Amino acid sequence: MQPQSYGLDATFAALADPTRRAILARLASGEASVTELTEPFAMTQPAISKHLKVLERAGLISHGRDAQRRPRRLEAKPLREATEWLENYRRFWEASYARLEGLLEEMQNKAKKPRRKRPSYGRAS
């Protein structure tokens, strides 16, 4: 497995859980301790710590040391890499929709043009 692929796999696996996404959303507004991160959830601190370990292994968060506190902070690089990977697919779909739109316009224009009647040579009326 390529290093970038592992990074993307770890990022998307970490983002697959709604609790971890909520933790990242909270950290987007600034550093927080494990206790602060535990508050909004109906979970124990050990359960939140397990989520934090997944996020740390994926490189999505890091922790520092502030006296007795070990605040967690968001690390944006893996999210940027995931966004760049997704961006390729966004461009693909935009190009596909543009081609589809062009085809539909072409079909509508053909439908609007009056059809010429074919001459009826020798047909009985």
Tokens read off for 101: 């739109």
- 112 in any annotated domain: no
- 83 in any annotated domain: no
Paired with 66 in beta bridges are 69
- 82 in any annotated domain: no
Residue with the larger pLDDT of the pair 18 and 111 = 18
Lowest mean pLDDT among 32-36, 84-88, 120-124: 120-124
- 68 in any annotated domain: yes
Q: What is the CATH number of the domain that holds 15?
A: 1.10.10.10
pTM for the predicted model, two decimal places: 0.69
| Distance from C-alpha of 34 to C-alpha of 51, rounded to nearest angstrom | 11
Q: Which domain holds residue 19?
A: 3-77
pLDDT at 1 (0 to 100)? 44
Per the structure, the count of domains in the chain is 1
- 42 in any annotated domain: yes
Helix, strand or coil for residue 118?
Answer: coil
pLDDT at 4 (0 to 100)? 56
Q: Which of 6-10, 66-70, 117-121 has the largest mean confidence? A: 6-10
Model pLDDT for residues 26-42, shown as the tens digit of each residue: 999 999 999 999 999 99
Helices (H), 39-76: 45-57
- 34 in any annotated domain: yes
